[in-house]
Amino acid sequence: MRDRLEHYLRLWHLSDPEPLAQTPTSHVYTVQHNGERAVLKLLTPIGVEDEQGGAVALRYFDGQGAVRLMRHDQEAHLLEYAGDEDLAPMVWRGEDVAAAAIIAGVLNQLHRVSLDKPPPELQPLRRRFRELFVKAARDEAAGEDSIYGRGARVAQRLLAEPRQECVLHGDIHHQNLRRHPVRGWLAFDPKGLYGERTYDAANTLCNPPHAQELVSSEARLLRITQVLANGMGIEVDRVRAFVFAYACLSASWLDDGAGDVRQQMLTVARNAERHVHTG
């Protein structure tokens, strides 16, 4: 990784690298670029496959509600530095509703970017839900009426009649937004999806991490879905349906090693299901 870091420092005229984060998809550094702080992401083999759609999305957002993608190739991204403050501390301070209103505002900015035809590199939502559909089919074949099967049926209904399709971030949560000192709250690390904009509200109800009691609260789900619906100008019933489907999808991604997180996602799903019209 050191050789790759040195390669991009030379190639993109960067200096002063400082480790920022390490994830399964990337090794992240802050660097100096033209006298300003920036972020260099060196992609792992998983990231090379997983993050290309994110680069496409950032190109199309072009700084509107998101960090700017300054340079990129198949193995690295150079990004605008958004700042150190994310939204999670607002939630810890009891400002959950205010944080949700900020998320709605950022999503409105992202979703204003319109395309006549979505780029082929973006993943359609139907493909995004593939793991849930596979899990539901297995349960159905076993004669089980599982929450995954019910979530898959709701997802199929939502996807069959999409509304207000656009380029999506795909992974909006409290720690994927940071406050820029000049440009305000900006999203980063998009997945690069295309589909109904309501989907982008769903992950908010599964976050922030390490807030099990809050995330598991049905009252909180009802309150925050209403804030998001009001702020985005979308139907609250549809937000709750997407939360149900998304929480089932999120649980279907997790193996036994993440059992506690999976159970939390299923709690969110059960809370949402009670408020979803299935007819």
Q: Annotated catalytic sites, by residue? A: 171
Paired tokens of 75: 């193995």
- Phi and psi dihedrals of 37, rounded to 5? -75, 140
Q: Is 31 helix (H, G, I), strand (E, B) or coil?
A: strand
Q: Give which of 97, 91, 106, 95 is closest to 184, Cα–Cα.
A: 106
Residue 167 contacts by C-beta under 8 Å, 6 or more apart in sequence?
57, 60, 61, 110, 111, 113, 115, 118, 122, 192, 193, 194
Q: How far is CA 263 from CA 3, 136, 177, 248, in A?
A: 41, 17, 26, 10
d(CA 29, CA 141): 47
C-beta separation of 208 from 174 below 8 A: yes
Give Cα 106 to chain centroid, integer Å. 12
Q: How far is CA 61 from CA 110, 111, 166, 190, 233, in A?
A: 6, 9, 11, 10, 20
